[in-house]
Amino acid sequence: MGSIKIFISQPMNGLSDEEIEEQRNAALEDAKSMLGEGVREVPSFFKGDPGAKDSPVSCLGRSIQLMGAADCVYFAKGWVDARGCRIEHMIATEYGLEIIKD
């Protein structure tokens, strides 16, 4: 079996870059335990990214574009409370991407 490209959807508001990376690493390990070692992340968080200062809608648009390269979307803890994650969930559902929830 080939590799599975996974997009991680997670709440980021109010978190430091380090906290975001820590949660992403935990999500990736969780996905690997479920799907096997062939899992690789579609990078969607760029530490110190100047684009992070863009409007929330602009950031969501970039996330959706990156999600288009994924086979599976992992929704991290707290996703239901983050509007961007809820929108990503709706898109993943409507377009038939495999979904994993923490």
Task: Sketch the domain layout of the chain as residue ranges.
Answer: 4-101
Q: How many angstroms separate the CA atoms of 72 and 35, rounded?
A: 10
Per-residue pLDDT of the chain (102 residues; tens, 9 = 90+): 579 999 999 999 889 989 999 999 999 999 999 998 899 999 998 776 555 667 888 889 999 999 999 999 999 999 999 999 999 999 999 999 999 998
Residue 98, classed as helix, strand or coil, is: strand
- CATH number assigned to the domain covering 4-101: 3.40.50.10400
Q: How many angstroms separate the CA atoms of 68 and 84, rounded?
A: 15
